[in-house]
Structure 1
Amino acid sequence: MSGFGRRSLPPGYFRFRMPGGTALLVHRRSAVVAAALFLVALAVAVVEIATGDYTITPTGALNALVGGGSDLDRFIVVDQRLPRAAAALLVGAALGASGAIFQSVSRNPLGSPDIIGFTTGAATGGLTVILLVGASTATTILVGTLVGGFATAAVVIALALRRGATGDRLVLSGIAVAAMLAATNDYLVSRADIENAEVAKAWQYGSLNAISWPPLLPLAVVLAFALPAALLASRSLRVLELGDDTAAAVGLRVARTRTVALALGVCLAAIAVATAGPIGFLALAAPQLARRVARSPGVTVLASTAMGAALLVSADLLAQRLLSPFQIPVGLVTAAIGGAYLVWMLALAPASGSRSGRT
C-alpha cells in the first residue's frame, strides 16, 4: 500500500511504514482494539502465573521469576505456570490468526480450520505418530501434524476446485473431510492399548495441563515467521474478500495469494495442534468477535491474533479454577465457549437467513 497518498487514505485508516520502504494500511480502531486485547491477555496471564493451588505472594512470584525464592517456588512459577501461560498466549494467537486467514479466503464466517477439517487432519497426523509410529516427542508430533494438516488442505482444496473454489464449496468440502477424519481418529484411539489410548485421548481434547518449555521452542520459531507473514498478507486478503473477479481486476494474483494464505493458515493451525492438541472453536470465534469489537470492514488478522490470545489464556484460567484442585482440558472450555458463540450467532441472525456475518 505504499502507493497511497495522504489524501487517498480511506477514512479510519493510517499508514504504517515498515523497513524496506513498504507500508501497510492499518484500520485505526482495529489497532486500538488489538492493543487493548493484548494488554488484557497479558493481565490474565499474570493472574495465572501469580495464583493457583500452591499459594505464593505476588512478591514471591516475582522473586521466583528473577531467580530468587525457594527451589519449590521457582519450580512452580518458572517450570509450570510460566510455560503454561506462555503456551496459552502463543497457541491462542496462532489459532486466532489462522481463523482470520481462512475466513478471509473463504469469505465465510464458518471458514475456520476446525470446521473445514484442517485441525482435524493435523490431529490425525499427530495421532498417527503417537499411536502407530510410537513416537510422541515434540518434534515427531510437530512433523505429523504438519503433514496431516497440509495433506488435508490439499484434499479439501482439490475437492472444492472441481466446481469452482467458492467459499461455500470450500466449507462444505472441509466439513465432509473433517467428518471422515474424525471417524479415523476415533478408530485409531479404539485400536490402541489402554495406556496409549489414554495419552492420545487427553491430547485429542486439547490441553495445556502438562505443557513445558521444550514444545514452546518450535511454536515460537514458527510464529516468529508466520505471524509477520500473515500480517503482511492481510492487505491482499482484504482485496481478495471483494471476490476473485474484482481482485484480479485490480492486479492481484488471486491463485498465488490464496495458495500462500492457505499455507500460512495451515501452518499456524498445525503448530498450535502440535503444541496443545486440537483446541476447537477458538479459530472460529476469535476473528468474528474481533471484527465485531473492532467494527472493521473485514476480518482483521491483528485483532484476531490478539483476541485468540486473550480468549485462550482466559479459558485456560477457567480450566484451572472451575473444578480446582482438578484441572480440565482447556479444549472442553473453548468448546463450551464456541457453542455459546454459535447460539449467539443464530440468535442475532436475521429471520430472512441472509448472511449478515459473512466477511
Structure 2
Amino acid sequence: MSAPATDSIRKGASLLPHTAATPDGSPVSLDGAAVRVARQRAGRRGLLVIGGLLAALALAFTIRTLLGDYTITIPDFWRILLGHDAVPGSARFVLMESKLPRAVAGTLAGLALGASGATFQLMARNPLASPDVLGLTMGASAAAVFSLVVLRADGPAIALAALAGAALVAIALLTLSGSRPGAAPTRMILVGIALSAMLTSVVHWVLLRADVYRAHEAMVWLTGSLTGVTWTQIALLALVVAVALPLLLATARELHLVELGDDLAAGVGAPPRAVRGRALSLVVLLVAATTSVAGPIAFVAFLSGPIARRLLGGRAAIGAAALVGAVVVVTADHLGAYAIPGVNLPVGVITGLVGAPFLLWLLTRERASS
C-alpha cells in the first residue's frame, strides 16, 4: 500500500469515535466511560462525606453527653440507661434530665433544620434561601408566642399553634410566588422576606402586651434554647422527624429536577408546583415541630446546605445537610453550656454568632462571582 493511502487511513481513523471495552467485551464510548468514572468518584466522595459526618455527630453527641462540669464515664452511662442501681443518683439525674435530653433534642432539631434548609435552597435555586429567611420559622414562632403569651397555652397547644403558623406562611409562599413558574424562585424569596418582617412586628407587639414573667419566658424561647426540654417533647419531635425526613429524602430526585428549571422538570414528569407543595408540606412539619420544642434556632437551616454542598464538591444533598445540621446544633449547645465558665448561653446565640459571619462571607462570595 502506498504512503499517501496509509496516511489517509490514519487520518480517517483519527476522526472515528474513540471506544473502550467493558468487562463483558461490549464497546463503550470514552465519553460514557468518563461519565461513569465521574459518577463513581462522586459516589465514593458522598459515602466518605456521609461516613465522616456520622462520625462527627457521634463524637459531638458523646462529648455533649459525657463531658462538661459533671463528667460521666462510659460504663456509668450504660448502667444508667440499663437501669442499674449501682450509680449515684446525682449522675443519673444529670444524665437523664439535662445532658441526654439536650443531646437527643439537638440531634433531632439539627436533622430537621438542616434538611429543611437544603430543601428550600433546592426549590429556590438560591443558597441564601432557608426557613429563616423565607419566614417559615418566624411564622411558627409568631403563632407559638401568641399562644404562649396571649392565650397562656403550653405543651401540645404551642406545638399546634406553631404548626398552624408555619402552614399559613407556607400557603402564602406558594400562593403569592407561584403564578408564573419561571418567576417562582425569586418571588418566593421576596415574599418570604416580606412575611418575615411582618411577623417580626407581630411578635414585638405581643411581647409589649405581656407581663414580665411571660415576656422573659418568650424571649428565652425566641432565642432558641434546649434548656428544659422534656422527654415528651422529644418523643413528639422524634415522631415527626422519623416520618417526614425519609419522605423528604424520597423527593430528592424530583427536587433536583426542579433545581434545573421549571420547564425541564415539567417536561420529565415532575410538575414544579406539585413538587414544591409536597416538599414544602414536609418542611412545614419539620420546622414547626422543631420550633415548638426548641424555638427558632438561628442560621442552622441556612448554614447546613452550603456546608454540605462544599463537602460534596458542589453537589446538593438533603441527607448530608441534615447531618451537618445535627453536628452544628449539638456542638453549639455544648459550647453554649461550657465555653464561658458560669454562663449558660442558649444554642441560638452560638449559632447566630457563627451564622452571621458565614452569611456575610456567602454574600461577598456571591457578589464576586456575579
The alignment's TM-score, normalised by the length of structure 1, stands at 0.88
Q: What is the number of residues matched between the two proteins?
A: 335
Aligned mates of 2:279, 2:260 — CA distance in 1 = 16
- Letter in structure 1 aligned against 2:272: V
Match of 1:345 in 2: 362
Aligned mates of 1:10, 1:336 — CA distance in 2 = 42
Work out which of the two has the higher radius of gyration on C-alpha atoms and give 1 or 2. 2
Q: For residues 27 and 145 of structure 1, do their structure 2 counterparts lie closer, same or farther at Cα, with a shift above 3 Å needed?
A: farther
CA contact (8 A) 1:316 1:330 kept: yes
Q: CA deviation at 1:222?
A: 0.7
- Is 1:147 the counterpart of 2:152 in the alignment? no
Aligned mates of 2:36, 2:283 — CA distance in 1 = 27
Match of 2:309 in 1: 291
Deviations 1:263-309 (A, max 9, x none): 11121111110110001111011011000011143x21110011111
Runs (4+) of structure 1 exceeding 6 A deviation are: none
Q: CA deviation at 1:163?
A: 5.4
Deviations 1:96-120 (A, max 9, x none): 0000111111111111000010000
Q: For residues 306 and 56 of structure 1, do their structure 2 counterparts lie closer, same or farther at Cα, with a shift above 3 Å needed?
A: closer
- Is 1:329 the counterpart of 2:336 in the alignment? no
CA contact (8 A) 2:64 2:99 kept: yes
Match of 1:304 in 2: 321
Q: Between 329-338 and 251-260, report the one with greater CA deviation.
A: 251-260
Structure 2 counterpart of 1:270, from 283, 288, 305: 288
CA contact (8 A) 1:103 1:109 kept: yes
Q: Counterpart of 1:124 in 2: which secondary structure?
A: helix
- Letter in structure 2 aligned against 1:60: D
Q: Between 219-228 and 56-65, report the one with greater CA deviation.
A: 56-65
Structure 2 counterpart of 1:83, from 94, 101, 115: 101
- Is 1:136 the counterpart of 2:161 in the alignment? no
Q: Counterpart of 1:323 in 2: which secondary structure?
A: coil
Q: Between 208-217 and 94-103, report the one with greater CA deviation.
A: 208-217
Q: Counterpart of 1:166 in 2: which secondary structure?
A: helix
Q: For residues 282 and 171 of structure 1, do their structure 2 counterparts lie closer, same or farther at Cα, with a shift above 3 Å needed?
A: same
Match of 2:77 in 1: 61
Aligned mates of 1:10, 1:227 — CA distance in 2 = 29
Q: For residues 312 and 10 of structure 1, do their structure 2 counterparts lie closer, same or farther at Cα, with a shift above 3 Å needed?
A: farther
Q: CA deviation at 1:346?
A: 3.4
Q: Counterpart of 1:215 in 2: which secondary structure?
A: helix
Q: Counterpart of 2:359 in 1: which secondary structure?
A: helix
- Letter in structure 2 aligned against 1:319: G
Q: Counterpart of 1:251 in 2: which secondary structure?
A: coil
CA contact (8 A) 2:117 2:130 kept: yes
Aligned mates of 1:135, 1:143 — CA distance in 2 = 10
In structure 2, list runs of 5 or more residues that go unmatched: 1-31
CA contact (8 A) 1:29 1:296 kept: no
CA contact (8 A) 2:178 2:273 kept: no
Greater share of helix:
2
Structure 2 counterpart of 1:114, from 114, 118, 132: 132
TM alignment of 1:23-42, pairs within 5 A: 27-42=43-58
- Letter in structure 2 aligned against 1:313: V
Q: Between 81-90 and 64-73, report the one with greater CA deviation.
A: 64-73
Structure 2 counterpart of 1:180, from 193, 198, 204: 198
- Counting aligned pairs with the same residue, the percent is 36
Q: CA deviation at 1:183?
A: 1.0
Q: For residues 232 and 189 of structure 1, do their structure 2 counterparts lie closer, same or farther at Cα, with a shift above 3 Å needed?
A: same
Aligned mates of 1:111, 1:105 — CA distance in 2 = 9
- Is 1:43 the counterpart of 2:59 in the alignment? yes
- Letter in structure 2 aligned against 1:43: L
The CA RMSD over aligned residues, in Å, is 2.0
In structure 1, list runs of 5 or more residues that go unmatched: 1-6, 15-25, 355-359
CA contact (8 A) 1:131 1:192 kept: yes
CA contact (8 A) 1:30 1:295 kept: no
CA contact (8 A) 2:57 2:326 kept: yes
Q: For residues 231 and 163 of structure 1, do their structure 2 counterparts lie closer, same or farther at Cα, with a shift above 3 Å needed?
A: closer
Q: Between 176-185 and 52-61, report the one with greater CA deviation.
A: 52-61
- Is 1:168 the counterpart of 2:186 in the alignment? yes
